[in-house]
Amino acid sequence: MIFQTDITADLFIQASIETLYMVGWSLLIGTLIGGPLGILLVVTRKGGVLENKLLYNILNPIINIIRSLPFIILLIAIIPFTRFVVQTTIGTEAAIVPLIIYIAPYIARLVENSILEVNPGILEAAEAMGATPFQVIWYFLLPEAFGSLILSITTAAIGLLGATAMAGTVGGGGIGSLALTYGYQRFDTFVMVITVIVLIIIVQVIQSLGTYLARRVRRR
């Protein structure tokens, strides 16, 4: 029967909390790393306010290399590093390490694209007023790109949600681990159905919130 299941409400709630915990911390730390990297990619590129070909040519390929790795491969490849950082390779804390490494370069690219969308005329106006590179970034580029940056972080959060599900395949915990252990290995159809529904709801909430905040920012 589809409604027969060995899972309890407490177990499912705990798995949901673990998923949100992984997404929250990974997104926060990933943004703190990826955000500045994205800004550096913009300002150090050819024609940027802090043009630096050497730095750009170092950062750009490194970000491309990490982004080219599927998360499940990255997850397994950095197991020694994960063990070194958190002293374990199982659980939500262990899953956060590869999640950060996975999402930081992704956010860097999203931030780069958002800032590059800023009207070049704004930069010309800033330079005409004698603004320093820091002032150009802080008072002109970031405020103008803020709405797009919110949508970029929203996209990153949804991508992280999918990655946490894959983290469950190696004991990362969360809804993904629950779906694998109960839904797949024990053929519990009910768990699979509920997992899909919950993930859809979370994605809809994240996307709706991000769209709402971006719309509010752009109307100011």
Tens of pLDDT, residue by residue over 169-208, are 777 778 877 777 776 666 777 788 888 888 889 999 999 9
| Six-digit token string for 57 | 């040519």
pTM of the model: 0.89
Q: Lowest mean pLDDT: which of 74-78, 103-107, 169-173, 198-202? A: 169-173
**pLDDT score recorded for residue 3:** 54
Distance CA 150, CA 144 (A): 12
- Asked if residue 101 lies in contact with residue 66, where contact means CB atoms within 8 angstroms, the answer is yes
Distance CA 220, CA 214 (A): 10
Centroid of chain to Cα 128 = 36
The whole-number average pLDDT for the span 136-148 is 90
| Six-digit token string for 214 | 């971006």
Secondary structure percentages of the chain, helix, strand, coil, to 5:
80, 0, 20
- Asked if residue 3 lies in contact with residue 191, where contact means CB atoms within 8 angstroms, the answer is no
Q: Which amino acid is at 106?
A: Y
- Asked if residue 193 lies in contact with residue 178, where contact means CB atoms within 8 angstroms, the answer is no
- Asked if residue 112 lies in contact with residue 38, where contact means CB atoms within 8 angstroms, the answer is yes
Q: Is the pLDDT of residue 25 over 90?
A: yes
Distance CA 191, CA 179 (A): 6
Terminal alpha carbon distance of the chain = 54
- Which has the higher per-residue pLDDT, 174 or 209? 209
